[in-house]
Amino acid sequence: MLPLLPAVVAILVTVALALAATLARALTPAAGIVAAVFGAVIVVAAGYGFLALLILFVVASVLATRYRFSEKKAKQVQEGTMGERGVSNVIAHILIPTGLALAVASEPPLLSMPAIAVLYASALAFGAADTFGSEFGVLAGKARSILTFRPVTPGTNGGISGTGELWAAIGAGTTGIVGWALFLLFASPAPPGAILVGVVGISGFLGCQVDSVLGETLENRNLLTKGSTNFLGMLSSVGIAALLLAALGWFR
């Protein structure tokens, strides 16, 4: 955990960033409060590297959401009314990363710091893959069911496109690369770069596919909400990352 003074500074920075996101209408006021609280827990428990990766994920998500927003709004596939994220969306994407950050501060440690760093980045890689795949995929003009490959309307739960899948891979892969750079910069212990980037990229992308399958099979039948689908998709990404780390001998 961070010492007292750095922790206070980190909390103030987190609150300021959440306020800025709220004023920019990237988050609703209630979602901004939730983001500030959970973000403060993450940085105090795990350090600046973990917070920095979360911040960059949020910034990238906002930019992807606002890209050609008027066109998305005309097609009625936009997020919120002005691209803002609500409480359910924030909670779905921040609960697991917060739990992993708290595992860093546990005594005795639940997992090694390198393993937690990879699992944390994999959770955010899912978020990036899901957001990029959705926000750019809906502009592709056509989509197909992930299970039957029949044509569906872009934006339909379980609908995928070549454009969306490409951007999902880009989102997951860049999260791994950026995460590796940030963990180095802030001296957060992590596995070698090739392992971190590879595991994070693969697990984030595959978790996004799980999310699409859940969307088509359960969310479309009102058995899951969008938030719970995202939560389970992120959980699957972390689970896949754990299996890959175990296979590589780094899950300890």
Helix (H) or strand (E) holding 151: strand 151-152
The mean predicted confidence, pLDDT, of the chain is 92
User: Residue 49's closest CA among 108, 114, 129, 93?
Assistant: 114
pLDDT tens figures, 129-173: 999 999 999 998 789 999 999 999 888 999 999 999 999 999 999
- pTM here is 0.94
Contact 227, 89 (CB under 8 A): yes
Percentage of the chain beyond pLDDT 70 is 98
Q: In 232-247, which positions are buried (b, 16+ CB within 10 angstroms) versus exposed (e)?
A: bbbbbbbbbbbebbee
User: Residue 46's closest CA among 186, 154, 140?
Assistant: 186
User: Residue 125's closest CA among 238, 250, 19?
Assistant: 238
User: What pLDDT, on a 0 to 100 scale, did the predictor assign at position 188?
Assistant: 85
Helix (H) or strand (E) holding 159: strand 159-160
The CA distance from 150 to 62, in Å, is 30
The CA distance from 118 to 203, in Å, is 10
The CA distance from 249 to 252, in Å, is 8
Any idea which residue has 């978020």 for tokens?
Answer: 127
Greatest C-alpha distance within the chain: 57
The CA distance from 119 to 108, in Å, is 18
User: What pLDDT, on a 0 to 100 scale, did the predictor assign at position 155?
Assistant: 86
Indicate the pLDDT class of residue 252, thresholds 50, 70 and 90: low
pLDDT tens figures, 2-35: 777 888 988 999 999 999 999 988 899 999 999 9
Any idea which residue has 């770069």 for tokens?
Answer: 193
Strands 159-160 and 151-152, by their bridges, are unpaired
Q: Where are the domains of the chain?
A: 4-248
pLDDT tens figures, 44-84: 999 999 999 999 999 999 999 989 898 888 888 887 777 78
